[in-house]
Amino acid sequence: MGYDAVAVGPLDLAAGTDFLKQQGNSRFPWISANLLNADDSPVFLPFIIKKTGKSTTGIIGLTGAAPLPANLHLGDWHIILPALLQRISKKCDYIILLSNLPKNDNFEIAQRYPDLHIIISADPQFSNLNPIINNSTLITQTVQQGKYLGRLDVVWGNNGKWESVSDKQRENNVDDKFPSTFSSSFIALGNTLPESVAIQKIVSGIQQRINRLNTPSKQINTIQDGTTAQKTTEPETVFTGFEQCLPCHHLQGDFWKSTQHAGSYTPLVKAGQANNLECLPCHVTHETNLSQKDPADILLSLPSSMQAVGCEVCHGAGRAHVNNPDNIKPIRKPAKHICLNCHTRERDPKFNYEEKIKLIQCPKG
């Protein structure tokens, strides 16, 4: 993706340092000045120096607190940073710190080391952070999980200070000493952006692998010998599946079958994603509190009458009502928040409850 440098963050270490180093070999420069081996040598490059045009930029990485294997430890930035800055300040016109440390540490660093021009932080407690001028350093970050792309445009000055004035004002400045100026924006990476074919290919490859990993071996066997899997509803669950509702509510049942909710499992099958636990919660009917149990146990062994956005998604678990229809009433009209469980901002940015409810509401009778 053309990154110049990436600072190793606590979660990047989840698969081990060897894994990251292998990725590094394919031109992905992981950096960290404070992630150290037992002998205090850095595990990754502590910094890189990048030449663009006439200027030279130093980029330093700092890793935040993380559970580490016994042979690694985090060094103290109070000791590491001043030594490092002394080494590289003379060689570099600009220095950028990629910091996984918490906000207070970053502000302390900005106070102590005026040689640092920009700190790009990654404190999970904060969302997108508009650039803040602190001493002679600019501090900014984007929210975690890649939901936004942060863009920072800088016009470098020569007096070691920052000012958030427009370029126009700067051109009018007759003084030959002037501050650096900046403008910034955050670009939401929602599904309204067109897909990149190359990236989509990588994502789809990973999704197919996830799906294969989750495919129960029984299911692989039945697919191979061509017979259909015999699935049964667990007797103790409060959900029954849509088929139980049809005898008494065939009018509503016929209508529901004409809506896209009735066929919501099919696109997953077509995409080879019917065993992807990321997709299933929104494309089937299931217990509401998945977090209390292993989602795989529930989502991968649903009876076919729950492999759809069925009646019970909107009207609530129906077994008690089926057994005692006159005394136990289901939810009549599903509230907006029920729809928003699935029609999220990311998946369905234009969703409008008042309009959409008209399209799916079952007929009276």
Instruction: Tell whether residue 277 is a contact of ligand HEC (CB under 6 A).
Output: no
- Output 58 or 310, the one with its CB closest to ligand HEC: 310
Among the residue ranges 4-12, 80-88, 103-111, 253-261, the one whose residues contact ligand HEC (CB under 6 A) = 253-261
The radius of gyration computed from the CA coordinates of the chain, to the nearest angstrom, equals 28
Nearer residue to ligand HEC within complex by CB, 155 or 317: 317
User: For residues 196 and 351, is the Cβ–Cβ distance under 8 A?
Assistant: no
Q: Assign residue 329 a region: left if phi > 0, alpha if psi is -120 to 50, beta otherwise?
A: beta
Query: Closest CB to ligand HEC among 59 and 313?
Result: 313
Shortest distance, CB of residue 313 to ligand HEC, whole angstroms? 5
Nearer to ligand HEC, 177 or 293 (CB): 293
Residue 207 makes CB contacts below 8 A (sequence gap 6+) with 271, 272, 273, 276
Tokens of 276: 């992807």
307 touches ligand HEC (CB under 6 A): no
Q: Which of 106, 244, 275, 307 binds ligand HEC (CB under 6 A)?
A: 244
Euclidean distance between CA atoms 241 and 134, whole angstroms: 59
Q: How far is residue 334 from each of residues 115, 238, 255, 282, 289, measured CA to CA in Å?
A: 58, 18, 16, 16, 17
Of the pair 39, 354, the CB lying nearest ligand HEC is at 354
Can you tell me the distance from the alpha carbon of 260 to that of 360, in angstroms, rounded to the nearest whole number? 9
Q: Is 290 near ligand HEC (CB under 6 A)? A: no
Among 290, 332, 336, residue whose Cα is nearest residue 315: 332
Under rule CB under 6 A, residue 36 binds ligand HEC: no
Is position 29 an interface residue for ligand HEC (rule: CB under 6 A)?
Answer: no
Q: How far is CA 9 from the centre of its chain?
A: 15
d(CA 310, CA 317): 10
By CB under 6 A, tell whether 347 contacts ligand HEC. yes
Residue 108 binds ligand HEC (CB under 6 A): no
Among 273, 275, 305, 307, binds ligand HEC (CB under 6 A): 273
At its nearest, how many Å lie between ligand HEC and the CB of residue 192?
A: 11
How far is 276 from 44, CA to CA, in rounded Å? 34
Among 248, 297, 304, 328, binds ligand HEC (CB under 6 A): 248
**121/273 with CB nearer ligand HEC:** 273
Q: Of 24-32, 122-130, 174-182, 267-275, which segment contacts ligand HEC by CB under 6 A?
A: 267-275
Give the angle 334-335-336 at the CA atoms, nearest 5°. 125
Pattern 315-344, ligand HEC, x by CB under 6 A: x--x--xx--xx--xx-xxx---xx-xxxx
| Residue count of the chain | 365
Q: Distance between CA 309 and CA 266 in Å, rounded? A: 11
Counting Cα atoms < 13 Å in the Cβ hemisphere of 76 gives: 2
Q: Smallest gap, in angstroms, from Cβ of residue 355 to ligand HEC?
A: 8
In the complex, residue closest to ligand HEC by CB: 318
The Cα-based distances of 229 to 113, 170, 218, 225 in angstroms read: 65, 71, 8, 11
* Residue 345 binds to ligand HEC (criterion: CB under 6 A): no
Q: Within 10 A of 99 (CB to CB), how many other CB atoms are there? A: 27
Is the separation of the CB atoms in 294 and 215 below 8 Å? no
Among 267, 294, 328, 345, binds ligand HEC (CB under 6 A): 267
Shortest gap between Cβ of 256 and ligand HEC (angstroms)?
A: 4
The residue (of 54 and 364) whose beta carbon lies closer to ligand HEC is 364
Structure tokens at 132: 């803040």
Contacting ligand HEC (CB under 6 A), which of 34, 99, 214, 264? 264
Residues that bind ligand HEC (CB under 6 A): 207, 240, 242, 244-245, 247-249, 252-253, 256, 260-261, 263-264, 267-268, 271, 273, 276, 278-279, 281-283, 309-315, 318, 321-322, 325-326, 329-330, 332-334, 338-339, 341-344, 347-348, 356-357, 359-362, 364-365
